Structures are given as structure tokens and as C-alpha cells.
Amino acid sequence: MDIIFLHDLRIDCVIGVFEWERRITQRVHVDLDMAFDIAAAAASDALEDTLSYKDVAKRITALVQEGKFNLVETMAERIAAVLADEFGVSWCRVRVNKKGAVSGAADVGVLIERGARADGSG
């Protein structure tokens, strides 16, 4: 299985359930691992034959900024749905990190995998 990845995409957004969180923006860090057959792109050396991580980054940034989610769980699910529905990704791993959300912890968030892995391991 080929993986195209985009890690540590930093997005400022409204996220959280508390009233004070709804009035400010906070930064989330998003990691994406996406199954995508790169054989055609490797042979042609043409951008149109691959999954453009620039296009993915722009779309996911817009989704997160416009979503004003309460939960990182909801955000991760919506990201996975966009990857499948709009980019044709058959499997993805989405990690949403809300750094600093818990005092004393460097990282907090969720990690989800959606779809069927081509290597049969998931």
C-alpha cells in the first residue's frame, strides 16, 4: 500500500465545548496518512496522476476553520469523510492534536483510521 502523508498541518480554528473556547481561536495540529496508488504518478511524473497534498491541505484547512467544532472527535470524522468523498482516499489515518488542552500534557487529541487498508492489516 502506498501512503501519501501530510503531517503537522497547523490550523487556527474555533474548537471546544466551553463558552470561553467558543470566543477564541485555538491551534490544532493535523496529521494525515492517506492510501493512494502512486504508480501512475511515478510513471508519468505528472501532478494530475497523484493526490495533491497542497489541495488536501487547502480543503482540510477550510473545513476545520469553517466547522467551529465542539469536539476533536467530530473534526477527525469530518476530515476522514472529506478525504474519502472528495479525494477518493480508500483508507486514512487522521490525528487531531489539541496541544496544551490538558495542563501537564504536551499532546492530547484523537487518532482514527477509516476505510480498508490494501495490505489487509486493518
Catalytic residues: 98
| Cα→Cα distances 5→66, 100, 103, 105, 110, Å | 23, 24, 29, 25, 17
- What's the rounded Cα separation, in Å, for the pair 15 and 19? 10
DSSP string across 56-112: HHHHHHHHHHHH--S-HHHHHHHHHHHHHHHH--SEEEEEEE-TTSSTT-S--EEEE
